[in-house]
Structure formats: C-alpha cells, structure tokens
Amino acid sequence: MFLRMNKLFRSLVFLFLFLGFLWFGSVLWFQWRYPQLHWDWSSIDTDDLTFPPSFLWGTATSAYQVEGGDTNSQWYLWEHAKDRQGNPRILHGDTCGWACDEWNRYPEDVRLMKSLGLNAYRFSVEWSKIEPREGVFDREAILHYQQLCDTLLKAGIEPVVTLHHVTDPIWFAEKGGWEKEENIQDFVKFAIHIVRALGERVRIYCTINEPAVYAMESYFSGTFPPGKEDLRLTALVLRNLLIAHVQTYHAIKALPGGKEKYVGIVKNITLVDPWNKWSLPDWLFSRLSDQAFNGTTIDFFRTGRFRFWMPGMVFLNYEDTAAVHSLDFFGLNYYSHYLYHFSFDPKKAFKPKIPENEIMTDMEYSVYPEGFYRAVRRVAVLGVPVMVTENGIADARDDRREMFIRRHLFALSKAIREGYDVCGYFYWSLLDNFEWAEGYSKKFGLYAMDPVTLERTMRNGARVYGEIVRRFNPIAARPPSTGRVIVDCE
C-alpha cells in the first residue's frame, strides 16, 4: 500500500512538473515570438525624423461624419431609432444632422489643409447620396465630388478616395446588405461608376474602410446597424467585404486607364496583447482574438485563404487566389492596442483592460506609439507599400495631441529608417466630427468645430503637425504643371 502511494505521489509530482514546464515554456515562447515593446520616451528625441521626399502628408475624413444632410443611409435610420431598452443608440442622443457641413464648406476646409502644408486629403464618397435608389445615380452628387477633386488639385492636394466607409444606402441594407454574397455586385457596380466619373482626377483609391471593425461592431457587439450579435454572421460579413475588395480591385484594373490607379484596402490594426504576460490562458485568448481581428485579413491577402475560427462558436473557411494580387498598397489605420484577460464570459473577455502606466485618450484606450511601429512591421509581410490612412487621438483638452503626433511620427520614422516601405501619413481627423456611436463627444480634429456656428478653430496639435509637414517640404515634390504629388506607391 505504501509503495503504491509513493508511486502515485511520484507520478503526480512528475505530472505537475511536466505541466509547469509546458506552461512556462509556452509563455516564454509567446513572449519571445510576440514581444511587447515599451520605449523610454524620456531618452528619445522625437524631432529626429526621416521621411522620403515623395511622402504623402494628409488628413482624413469620411463623408457621413463631416458632410451632413444624409437621409438615405442606414445610419440615418439607426441614429433616429431606440435600442431594446428604449434608449438612444447614440451617446447623449446625438444625431449626425449637418455634421461639419463640409458638403457646402469644403472650399474653406481645403484652405485649412493648404495652410498646414498638406499635399493629400483622404475622403470618402457617400454611396447613399450617389445612388439613393438601386440603379439610380444622382448627377448632382457626382458633380459635387468632381468639383471637390478639382478644388483639391488646384490647391496642389492629392485626392485619395475611399469608396466605402461604414455607411450603406437604405435600399442595400434592406436587401440584406453585406450578409449576402450576391449583393457584392451592387457595390462593384457603384465603384466602377465612381472611378469612371472621377476619371483622371483621382489616382489613389481605398476600396473598403476597416472591414473587421464594420463586421465586429455591426454583427458582434451590435453597436452599429443592423445591431446583430451573431459571431457566424460577423465572419460571413467580414469575408464578403474582403471579397468585395478583390472584385472591385480587379474591376478597376480592367477599366481603360485602370492599371494606372493605385488601389488598396484599409485595415485597422489594433494589436491584442495579454493582460498578464505570465498567464497562458491570457496568451492563448489574446492570440486567438488577434488572429480573428487582424490575422484573418492579413493572411487572406498573403495566401488567398480566409480562415475565421473561434473554438466552439464558428469556423469559416474560404479560398480566393485572386486576393493575393489585389493590393497596390495596404492602408493602415492605427490607434492603440488592447490587453485581454481570459474569461469564460465573452462579455468580460472582450472588454479590454486598461494599463495603469500608459497615458489615456478620451476613448477607452491608451496612447501606445510603440504599437504603431509594430503594426507597420506586421503588415509589411504583404510585400506592398504601407499607407497610414488614419492615426489620431480623441483629446478634447488638446493637452496630449502634440505628444501623440510627435511620438507616433517618431515611431513611423523609425520603421522607415529600418527599410519598411511607407508612402504616406493621414492624421484623423481634419475636424471634430460625428464619431459614430460616440456622437459628437469625442474630439479628434486638428480643428475644433463649434457645433452651432460650425466655425473651425485651429488646435495646438494642428500647429505642431503643420510644422513637421512643412519641415519636410512636400511642396518641392509637387510639379507645378499638374498640381500632383510625385508619390511612390509601387
């Protein structure tokens, strides 16, 4: 009996030692494979920057958030409806309304860009205004965007056009929207119509903005329309948005002059790290989440294979070899990182933990410039130039924006010095605007906007950004005969 117990004890000790070795060995491997950078900013000179002469310096907006007057979008219905508890869906009951009225005041905003020395402007064309009814295109809306592009070019500012930025026409949503693969053709037809209409005015197109954010917010968290909470639909919608990019890319390239267009997709890289770097469950959950939100999209364009997997919940597998050759550049949106702590309760597990040693933005995430550097390196595996299509901070007091810009541009410059191909940087955003479910509460703008008078007022962050831009003198790279910027996105 004693011998049997002694043997059992030794077996248990061996088992615990083996499990301990497996645990800490796995954790150490994760820490080596996915290092979390933290730089000593007190010893860094953020004025030590390097950018190429052909660099695009810009700012970014989206149509629905700044133009105003849009009643044909699914977001118009969403923000005027109540949730299941009878509460407003938008913070403080805000509605977009006339937003920044950029539809009418764009000449003023182009002058603001020009005063900062910017040489590029990323904006979106509003599908619901251009095609308010299926198959019916509004000539006045198209003329508006033609005139906007002409105004930009006259000012020496390169128009960078996003074809889809969160919003859809009501008619498209009512027929199932992005839940149905057969509806993709509607978007492709719209895209072709726009590219033809804008002609030689526009060389650079972003097809879909943040497909993973659209899918997650609309079909997982339910904070965007249609407000569903279904992980299977989340995966399906993400897949369909990526297919839409591939089909749109090849459709544009098939147009006369299409091969001269630069076409890419825009992806928000929110890095996902473990809350406790010594916790194996935290590591496993964070890597699984990172793969779903980031890796699925990157791998799709790298290999042509789409794999979305959440154990016990959803597995979606799809292949499209045309995806491998469907990017002229990769549009990178970067804001911060998330720290996840494993929990069997999905609501708790997907709620990011806030680090105590990092500076907070007005959103529920921190300032983490090191992640910007990591994100550039992450997407460089695709082998195409990176265009930073969004990077900015919600900062109503304007007491962190200068630090944010300086540190993030240092991180970007560091990546460029190390040989990573980055062809542009667009700060989000030119103006305070309608920040989706957050309404008008979050102030991302280089210019503050009075919600009543719509007056634009320069913030200190804009002054700093303008000084950095003018330091690298993009005007010298702009041929006066064309007004265009020489940009290397090939």
* Residue 483 belongs to a domain: no
pLDDT the model gives residue 482: 40
* Residue 486 belongs to a domain: no
Domain count of the fold of the chain = 1
Alpha carbons within 13 angstroms on the beta-carbon side of residue 51 total 25
Structure tokens at 187: 């978007």
Helix then strand then coil, in percent of the chain rounded to 5, is: 45, 15, 35
pLDDT the model gives residue 18: 55
* Residue 58 belongs to a domain: yes
**3-class state of residue 235 by DSSP:** helix
What span, in angstroms and rounded, lies between the C-alpha atoms of 487 and 490?
A: 9
* Residue 39 belongs to a domain: no
pLDDT the model gives residue 12: 62
Q: Per residue of the chain (490 residues), what is the pLDDT tens digit?
A: 544 556 665 666 655 665 565 666 887 887 888 888 999 999 999 999 999 999 999 999 999 999 999 999 999 999 999 998 999 999 999 999 999 999 999 999 999 999 999 999 999 999 999 999 999 999 999 999 999 999 999 999 999 999 999 999 999 999 999 999 999 999 999 999 999 999 999 999 999 999 999 999 999 999 999 999 999 999 999 999 999 999 999 999 999 999 999 999 999 999 999 998 988 989 999 999 999 999 999 999 999 999 999 888 899 999 999 999 999 999 999 999 999 988 777 666 677 888 888 999 999 999 999 999 999 999 999 999 999 999 999 999 999 999 999 999 999 999 999 999 999 999 999 999 999 999 999 999 999 999 899 999 999 999 999 999 999 965 534 433 344 455 555 5
* Residue 427 belongs to a domain: yes
pLDDT the model gives residue 479: 37
* Residue 40 belongs to a domain: no
What span, in angstroms and rounded, lies between the C-alpha atoms of 6 and 17?
A: 16
Determine the structural domain holding residue 167 and report its residue range: 47-477
pLDDT the model gives residue 344: 75
The residues, any chain, with a CB within 8 Å of residue 24's CB and separated by 6 or more, are none
pLDDT the model gives residue 11: 61
The CATH number assigned to the domain holding 307 equals: 3.20.20.80
Q: For 486, which DSSP code? A: -
What span, in angstroms and rounded, lies between the C-alpha atoms of 284 and 23?
A: 11
* Residue 484 belongs to a domain: no
* Residue 3 belongs to a domain: no
